[in-house]
């Protein structure tokens, strides 16, 4: 088999295994194993444990489970509800509830670093509140699905950490580069929500936007320490006192201390549940990272990665045409694979083209993350859709998907803005680093 046929066979086998219901992580590893048995050197499958060990033996990768731990701790606390009620109180105007939900998602992303955690934490307060105040179910669920995607762009982001590791790009630069595009997405989402609410009010009457003040006393004071923690650890990162992995550990320990003190969570049973949730997420993400690395090693060994890179370099004289096709292929992969698996597999393939075409690897990392955000909204793997459906089972998946479609379009608009003006991502790291 030639290298490109290897890659095509790997993709076909992966789709087949996923169709069989094999979980994504195992399907990635099984694909490499079966192809090694059929078309490679069968004896090499006996080195799989060594390959998994090598894939996970990384100082940088440590940041992921530790940020996951921080996210699990904060997501289990009432911090999301407090944050939401503070924003809602500040934005008591038409569309204010929806906009405060978007704002809550953006700010909570900085505390959790995860899209599904953001969608679940803000959505569990936001969806019932919006629907109770007359927001159409499609809009209410769409806001959470869309807002939740910010979790992988706003630092600390698992996707950006993995991209930084596999492409050897500065994780600190990537974190900074994600901030302005994330703000643009927040503004676009907020503008759309204001427009949709006005349209709804014109056709169906006024919405009740007043915040429930009774439940929000002291909420502002309670969430401030969490943001102080994030700002503090980011200062430690950019001040050179700690690496990204060390910052993640400080954040996790700090989150445990703050949740214990601010919300007086001391019951061992609750901490047990929080830690078990963190174990589930850690095992899920790290196994995907390990098996993606294994598949990537297989494709590299067969020459598929270098061959695909060469094809990309010769594909078109117009670098934007090639880039557009790369984005489409990542979006297609996003239909069946979670973001971090895609980044591990395709980023090393695409990076040589990115560099030789004169694109900035930090900028490309942000573009990839926005494409991955779009994947989070797109079925069948679109994780955020299912998170929101679990929160609002009375709303059909079809309605949630239709409600999310405008947010998908706005993410595409942001990707276009990023291509037209790369400075949107590169300005802040250029200024501060």
Partner 1 sequence: MVAVRVHAGRDCARSWRASGSPFVRLIKTAYSVLLKVNRLFALLAAFALALAACSITYGVLARNLFGKSTTWELEAGIYLILYATFFGAAYTHVAGGQIGINALRDLLSARWQRFHKIAGDSATLAFFALIFHSGWHDMWTAFDRGWHSDTIWGPPLWIPFLSIPVGAALLVVTMALEIILTISDHEPPQIIKSNRAAH
Residues 232-291 within binding reach of partner 1 (CB under 8 A):
236, 241-242, 245-246, 249-250, 252-253, 272-273, 275-276, 278-284, 286-287, 290
Closest residue by Cα to residue 172 from 182, 161, 181, 159: 161
| 62: contact with partner 1 by CB under 8 A | yes
* Residue closer to partner 1 (CB basis): 282 or 297: 282
| 112: contact with partner 1 by CB under 8 A | no
Site string for partner 1, 349-388 (x = CB under 8 A): -------------------------------xx-x-----
Tell which one of 3, 98, 338, 429 touches partner 1 (CB under 8 A): 338
- Cα–chain-centroid distance for residue 429? 20
Residues 158-217 within binding reach of partner 1 (CB under 8 A):
none
Closest residue by Cα to residue 295 from 102, 81, 48, 86: 48
* Residue closer to partner 1 (CB basis): 48 or 183: 48
* Residue closer to partner 1 (CB basis): 183 or 236: 236
CB < 8 Å & 24+ apart, contacts of 353-361 = 353/309, 353/312, 353/313, 353/322, 353/326, 356/313, 357/319, 357/322, 357/323, 358/319, 359/319, 359/323, 359/422, 360/422, 360/426, 361/167, 361/169
> Binding residues for partner 1, how many (CB under 8 A)?
59
Q: How far is the CB of 411 from partner 1 (least distance, A)?
A: 21
Residues 381-400 within binding reach of partner 1 (CB under 8 A):
381, 383
Cα 398 to Cα 137, 394, 412: the distances in Å are 11, 12, 21
Closest residue by Cα to residue 28 from 401, 314, 372, 285: 285
Residues 22-51 within binding reach of partner 1 (CB under 8 A):
22-27, 29-30, 33, 45-50
Token digits for 22? 């094999």
Q: How far is the CB of 379 from partner 1 (least distance, A)?
A: 8
Contacts of 368 (CB under 8 A, 6+ apart): 159, 163, 330, 343, 347
Calculated CA dihedral for residues 234, 235, 240, 241, nearest 10 degrees: -90
Residues 422 and 64: their CA atoms lie apart, in Å, by: 27
Q: Give residue 211's region: left, alpha or beta (phi > 0; psi -120 to 50).
A: beta
| 75: contact with partner 1 by CB under 8 A | no
* Residue closer to partner 1 (CB basis): 166 or 252: 252
Q: How far is the CB of 344 from partner 1 (least distance, A)?
A: 15
Site string for partner 1, 91-110 (x = CB under 8 A): --------------------
Q: How far is the CB of 396 from partner 1 (least distance, A)?
A: 15
Residues 137 and 269: their CA atoms lie apart, in Å, by: 35
| 330: contact with partner 1 by CB under 8 A | no
Residue with tokens 């214990």, as numbered in its chain: 260
| 66: contact with partner 1 by CB under 8 A | yes
* Residue closer to partner 1 (CB basis): 39 or 56: 56
* Residue closer to partner 1 (CB basis): 271 or 315: 271
**Residues in the site for partner 1, rule: CB under 8 A?**
17-27, 29-30, 33, 45-50, 52-53, 56-59, 61-62, 65-66, 69, 236, 241-242, 245-246, 249-250, 252-253, 272-273, 275-276, 278-284, 286-287, 290, 336, 338, 380-381, 383
């Amino acid at each position: 088999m030639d290298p490109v046929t290897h890659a095509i066979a790997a993709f076909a086998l992966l789709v087949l295994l996923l169709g069989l219901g094999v979980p994504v992580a195992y399907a990635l590893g099984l694909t490499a194993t079966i192809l090694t048995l059929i078309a490679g050197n069968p004896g090499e499958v006996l080195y799989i444990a060594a390959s998994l060990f090598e894939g996970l033996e990384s100082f940088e990768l440590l940041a992921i489970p530790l940020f996951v731990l921080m996210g699990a701790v904060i997501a289990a606390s009432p911090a999301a509800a407090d944050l939401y009620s503070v924003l809602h109180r500040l934005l008591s105007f038409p569309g204010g509830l929806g906009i405060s939900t978007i704002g809550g998602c953006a700010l909570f992303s900085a505390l959790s670093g995860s899209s599904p955690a953001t969608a679940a934490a803000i959505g569990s307060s936001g969806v019932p509140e919006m629907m109770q105040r007359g927001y159409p179910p499609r809009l209410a669920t769409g806001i959470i699905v869309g807002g939740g995607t910010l979790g992988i762009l706003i630092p600390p982001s698992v996707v950006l950490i993995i991209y930084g590791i596999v492409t050897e790009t500065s994780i600190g630069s990537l974190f900074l580069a994600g901030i302005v595009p994330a703000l643009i997405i927040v503004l676009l989402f907020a503008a759309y929500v204001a427009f949709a609410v006005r349209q709804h009010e014109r056709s169906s009457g006024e919405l009740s936007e007043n915040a429930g003040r009774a439940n929000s006393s002291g909420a502002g004071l309670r969430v401030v320490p969490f943001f102080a923690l994030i700002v503090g650890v980011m200062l430690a990162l950019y001040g050179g006192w700690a690496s990204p992995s060390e910052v993640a550990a400080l954040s996790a320990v700090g989150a445990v201390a703050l949740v214990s003190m601010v919300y007086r969570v001391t019951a061992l049973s609750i901490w047990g549940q929080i830690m078990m949730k963190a174990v589930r997420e850690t095992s899920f993400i790290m196994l995907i990272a390990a098996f993606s690395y294994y598949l990537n090693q297989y494709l590299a060994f067969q020459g598929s990665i270098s061959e695909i890179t060469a094809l990309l370099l010769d594909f078109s004289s117009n670098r934007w045409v090639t880039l557009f096709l790369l984005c489409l292929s990542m979006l297609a992969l996003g239909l069946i694979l979670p973001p971090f698996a895609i980044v591990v597999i395709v980023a090393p393939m695409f990076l040589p083209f990115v560099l030789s075409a004169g694109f900035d690897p930090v900028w490309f990392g942000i573009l990839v993350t926005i494409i991955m955000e779009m994947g989070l909204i797109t079925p069948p793997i679109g994780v955020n859709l299912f998170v929101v459906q679990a929160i609002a089972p009375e709303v059909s998946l079809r309605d949630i998907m239709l409600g999310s479609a405008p947010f998908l379009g706005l993410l595409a608009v942001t990707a276009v803005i990023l291509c037209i003006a790369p400075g949107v991502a590169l300005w802040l790291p250029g200024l501060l680093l």
